[in-house]
């Protein structure tokens, strides 16, 4: 998921401090002005990272926004990746060309909210007349921090477990697995030649889904070395020791979807984004999407994304109006066809009709939860990945208990 180098992150924070300082020296009027009159065009810049299909939908929204907000001209900028966005943001802020709002996942948002990158929206919601009652209460709550709303909810979807349907059938396997024990047995059968039975991406998103399926979680940094988390990591380590698991880095790829699309792994934890990605990367690949298998309980992450207004947006009210416009029914319906489950109840009710391949995931909406990372999210996820790669790829020899104890000691 989102990656940010530490030096670049430090630069970002320093740059933000400079921008805030410079803003304080000015009149302060420009950031607080409304969207203006109908004959006064305001340019709002939106930044996102995603697929070519996402770009097409957003461009259509930009072309139509004047029907609702005639004073707003919406410009879309697509970044190649989240990493590229965070790498270039400091320079864009300094040059005054940063996006006014972005779409962001809840997996990494809390740290950036805490660092002051985004604008609290409550007062702006009042002045712009944005209707927050359109959105599910649970969706709004994900984006509320210390009683303030920071995001306009866009979509919510549990994590899932994907299986290459053709490989499964060719192996003569029967019912799809519901537990990790069944997954491991199937992986042993699917493990053939260059194909590994299961892709276990050593990434915080994926590891978090394993620990949640054992009743664990990070507890915002308080339960990192819990017995449930240790049990989940021990299972992952065992799968690597048995030779049935592969991580993307070991075969020259950046993430699990690439390994799956190239038929080098038969199963993987993943998310709704697989649908749009595979449509481009391997449209002939047939897959099955299931809830994350059960360890000792049903558990998985809830991925939510929202539109967030940057602290240094040139016109915050216009940026919020443009962000809210992105949740219109036409745009949301187009994203539903790519696998996104809207945060709007009336549209969400249609989601599984438009995406029948995800129907099996519906029960997970009831029990999937937020990531629960520590406030210092990036440092935690970096350390978790470093320790796991040190063991799996580097042969550190540490046990699951030692790995989690060492990380816990840094987040007391």
Q: What is the pLDDT of residues 343-358, one digit of tens each?
A: 999 998 899 988 899 9
Burial grade of 367 (CB within 10 A; 0-12, 13-18, 19 or more): middle
CATH code, 257: 3.40.190.10
More confident residue, 387 or 113: 387
The domain of 309 spans 6-156+304-361
Same structural domain for residues 206 and 170? Answer: yes
Q: How many domains does the chain have?
A: 2
Would 353 be classed as within a structural domain? yes
Looking at per-residue pLDDT, the higher value among 346 and 17 belongs to 346
Is the pLDDT assigned to residue 273 strictly greater than 70? yes
Q: Please compute the mean of the pLDDT values over residues 290-306 and round it to a whole number.
A: 96
The reply to whether 371 falls in a domain is no
In this prediction, residue 89 carries a pLDDT of: 81
Do 270 and 339 share a structural domain?
no
263 within domain boundaries: yes
Average pLDDT over residues 99-106: 93
Same domain, 198 and 258: yes
pLDDT of residue 37: 47
Mean pLDDT of 116-139: 94
Are residues 283 and 308 both part of a single domain?
no
246-271, pLDDT tens digit by residue? 999 999 999 999 999 999 999 999 99
| Same domain flag for 185 and 294 | yes
Same domain, 65 and 152: yes
Residue 367 within a domain: no
Q: How many residues does the chain have?
A: 412
Flag whether 205 is in a domain.
yes
Q: Does residue 319 register a pLDDT over 70?
A: yes
Task: Compute the average pLDDT of residues 265-290.
Answer: 95
- Of the pLDDT bands very low, low, confident and very high (cuts 50, 70, 90), residue 9 is very low
Q: How far is the C-alpha of 277 from the C-alpha of 54, rounded, in Å? A: 11
Query: Is the separation of the CB atoms in 263 and 195 below 8 Å?
Result: yes
The first and second tokens of residue 408, run together, are 């816990």
Residue 386 and residue 347 in one domain? no
Closest CA to 161 of 270, 22, 34: 270
**What pLDDT does 23 receive?**
36
% of residues, the chain, pLDDT over 90: 73
Instruction: Decide the pairing of beta strands 160-164 and 267-270.
Output: antiparallel
| Residue 100 contacts residue 45 (beta carbons within 8 Å) | yes
* pLDDT score at 112: 86
Task: Give the per-residue pLDDT at 277.
Answer: 92
CA distance 394 to 392: 6
Of 104-113, 127-136, 307-316, 390-399, least confident by mean pLDDT is: 104-113
Q: What's the pLDDT tens digit per position in 359-400?
A: 999 899 889 988 999 989 889 999 999 999 999 999 999 999
Instruction: Report if residue 391 sits inside a domain.
Output: yes
Cβ-based neighbours of 141, under 8 Å, separated by 6 or more:
none
Q: Say if 343 falls within a structural domain.
A: yes
Residue with tokens 């009336």: 346
pLDDT of residue 210: 98
Is the domain of 32 the same as that of 76?
Answer: yes
Task: Say whether both 320 and 233 belong to one domain.
Answer: no
Token code pair at residue 272: 């709704």
Backbone angles phi and psi of 346, in degrees to 5: -60, -35
- Claim to verify: residue 46 and residue 76 sit in the same structural domain: yes
pLDDT in the model for residue 39:
64
Do 169 and 106 share a structural domain? no
Are residues 144 and 112 part of one domain? yes
Report pLDDT for 10. 42
The answer to whether residue 410 scores a pLDDT higher than 80 is yes
Q: What is the pTM of this model?
A: 0.76
Residue 41 lies in a domain: yes
């Amino acid at each position: 998921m989102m990656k940010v180098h530490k030096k670049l992150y430090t630069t970002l924070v320093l740059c933000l401090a400079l921008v805030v300082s410079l803003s304080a020296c000015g009149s302060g009027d420009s950031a607080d002005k409304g969207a203006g009159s109908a004959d006064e065009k305001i340019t709002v810049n939106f930044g996102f990272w995603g697929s070519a299909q996402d770009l097409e939908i957003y461009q259509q929204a930009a072309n139509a926004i004047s029907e609702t907000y005639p004073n707003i001209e919406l410009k879309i900028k697509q970044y190649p990746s989240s990493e590229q966005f965070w790498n270039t943001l400091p320079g864009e802020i300094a040059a005054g060309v940063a996006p006014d709002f972005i779409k962001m996942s809840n997996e990494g948002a809390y740290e950036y909210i805490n660092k002051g990158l985004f604008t609290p929206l409550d007062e702006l919601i009042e002045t712009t007349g944005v209707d927050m009652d359109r959105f599910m209460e649970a969706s709004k709550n994900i984006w509320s921090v210390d009683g303030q709303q920071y995001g306009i909810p866009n979509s919510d979807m549990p994590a899932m477990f994907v299986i290459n349907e053709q490989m499964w059938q060719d192996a003569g396997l029967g019912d799809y697995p519901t537990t990790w024990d069944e997954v491991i047995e199937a992986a042993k059968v699917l493990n053939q030649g260059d194909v590994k039975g299961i892709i276990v991406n050593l990434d915080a998103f994926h590891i978090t889904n394993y620990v949640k399926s054992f009743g664990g979680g990070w507890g915002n940094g308080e339960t990192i070395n819990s017995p449930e988390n240790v049990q989940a990591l021990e299972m992952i380590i065992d799968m690597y020791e048995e030779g049935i698991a592969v991580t993307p880095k070991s075969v020259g790829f950046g993430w699990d979807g690439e390994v799956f699309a190239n038929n080098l792994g038969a199963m993987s934890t993943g998310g709704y984004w697989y649908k749009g990605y595979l449509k481009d990367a391997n449209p002939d690949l047939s897959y099955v999407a299931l809830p994350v298998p059960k360890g000792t309980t049903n558990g998985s992450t809830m991925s939510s994304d929202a539109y967030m207004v940057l602290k240094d947006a040139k016109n915050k009210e216009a940026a919020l109006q443009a962000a809210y416009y992105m949740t219109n029914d036409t745009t949301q319906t187009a994203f539903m066809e790519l696998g996104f489950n809207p945060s709007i109840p009336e549209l969400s009710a249609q989601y599984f009709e438009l995406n029948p391949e995800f129907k099996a995931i519906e029960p997970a909406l009831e029990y999937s939860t937020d990531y629960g990372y520590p406030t210092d999210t990036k440092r935690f996820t970096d350390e978790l990945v470093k320790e796991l790669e040190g063991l799996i790829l580097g042969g550190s020899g540490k046990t699951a208990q030692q790995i989690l104890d060492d990380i816990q000691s840094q987040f007391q």
